[in-house]
Structure 1
């Protein structure tokens, strides 16, 4: 037992560990340590960032992809216009919330940097950030719900195939997402 502990201590103290750079090396130069410039841009632009995969991968089309596939899905001019409005509204709402996430992350970063962080204010800060992140996800997921209401059954059925998902049809047994009637 003693020899095992000695070997472990020698291994941990070996210079090899000291030479291994952290995967976080360089991130300390970011304006907000926890967010890359790309993440900040995505938050401000209201981009999806994979937040609506629960909808997307279960047959609930997203407006950005519906616009990309407008011809193949045979959108009417009215559907295209409504989808464009939907995505603009989603990006505006998510972007506003994203700006708030960035400010909260900036404040959290500053509190750690200037050593003013405490367990009490840490919990309050992280709870605010988590709530905002949840609101952003809600905006993106709700937009998928609204998008489905703009499409007809054939368009909804074509979407997974056009997106290249396995099986080509949504995984809900052919029923319309949410059991709604579509026009």
Structure 2
């Protein structure tokens, strides 16, 4: 904030303590969610929806990725830097394509279930038993989605990269 603006605000607050208190009160109670109320699905940003519908990782495989187990998408992106053979690239592509197909299907169902939950809250008459059922369905899908992504990292590691994991980690900026 420019120095001049700070001085003007300080002088206003000094001459009108009520203004200072009102400004402080508004900032203390401001929600970090302000602006998200216009989302179609409040629990998901448009970027989240796009990532889920395209079968992207959505950060669900960090346990594998950050512990030295490469993911197929990144392996394919770095195939030349990793020195992969044509056969290894094809193997990575098979793992990636299978993972992506399954993740897209599950991600689509996940987004649809979140949209249904949103619709029920929008209607304002959701019951607790219905909520428990809907949340259980959504979290079961999240679990399946995470399993799909983590499994692809396990498969990649087993398939071909044991001797290239250090290079992978360096290229990804982990070392």
TM-based fold match above 0.5 = yes
After superposition, the C-alpha distances for 1:158-177 in whole angstroms (9 at most, x for unaligned) are 222232213xxxxxxxxxxx
Q: Partner of 1:51: helix, strand, or coil?
A: coil
* 1:152 CA drift (Å): 4.6
What per-residue deviation string (whole Å, max 9, x for no partner) do you get for residues 115-171 of structure 1?
Answer: 1211111111111111111110000000011111221532234222232213xxxxx
Q: CA deviation at 1:38?
A: 0.6
Name which of 100, 118, 124 aligns with 1:109.
118
What secondary structure is seen at the aligned counterpart in 2 of 1:72? Answer: helix
Instruction: Give the structure-1-normalised TM-score.
Output: 0.77
C-alpha RMSD of matched pairs (Å) = 1.8
Distance (Å, rounded) in 1 between the aligned partners of 2:46 and 2:71: 25
Q: What is aligned with 1:126? A: 135
- The residue that corresponds to 1:161 in the other structure is 170
Matched residue of 1:151: which SS? helix
* Distance in 2 (alpha carbons) for counterparts of 1:30 and 1:142: 32
Distance (Å, rounded) in 1 between the aligned partners of 2:67 and 2:140: 25
Ranges in structure 2 where 5+ consecutive residues have no aligned partner: 1-20
Aligned equivalents of 1:136 and 1:116: distance in 2?
Answer: 29
Q: Distance in 1 between matches of 2:22 and 2:50?
A: 39
Question: 2 CA distance for matches of 1:161 and 1:64?
Answer: 16
Change (3 A) 1:74 1:125: same
Any idea what SS the aligned residue of 1:66 has?
A: helix
Structure 1 stretches of 5 or more lacking a match?
1-13, 167-183
- Distance in 2, matches of 1:97 and 1:43, equals 8
Residue 136 (structure 2) pairs with residue 136 (structure 1): no
Is 1:15 aligned with 2:19? no
Which residue is equivalent to 1:78? 87
Higher helix fraction: Structure 1 or Structure 2? 2
